[in-house]
Amino acid sequence: MTTPGLDVYDIAYLAAGPDRVVDTALVALVETGRVRVQPPGQLAVAELARRHPVEAAVLDAVGTRGHRSVDVVRWRLLSGGRLPPSARAWDSRYDRATSGSEAEDGRP
């Protein structure tokens, strides 16, 4: 079954919830050079290019001054409700994507 309309952050949320969304965004930001990891595991913004709302929220949580740990970034996002879109939006997107996929295939 395919899930059209779902991106990597949708899939991360469905796989393991909001913590996985933050981790996924951090990996994407490190891999693209927009966040640097410095010893001992501190994160620093290298480039403020925002390509997705989730990445923008994570970049804001890391901040442009100083360094932050993954735990602090996760806490800033999840405790303040700053991680867009909400879980409810992800759940409804998933429902729409899977119901559309099943209807096209003719499978129950």
Residue 33, domain member (yes or no)? yes
Does a structural domain hold residue 43?
A: yes
2 in a structural domain? no
DSSP code for 86: P
Question: Which pLDDT tens digit goes with each residue over 21-60?
Answer: 999 999 999 999 999 999 898 999 999 999 999 999 999 9
Model confidence band, residue 105 (pLDDT cutoffs 50, 70, 90): very low
What is the domain range of residue 69? 8-92
pLDDT value of position 106: 42
Three-state DSSP at 68 gives strand
Specify if 104 maps to a domain. Answer: no
Would residue 100 count as lying in a domain? no
Please tell me the total count of domains within the chain. Answer: 1
Residue 103 lies in a domain: no
**From CA 49, how far away is CA 84, in angstroms rounded?**
17
Q: Does 84 map to a domain?
A: yes
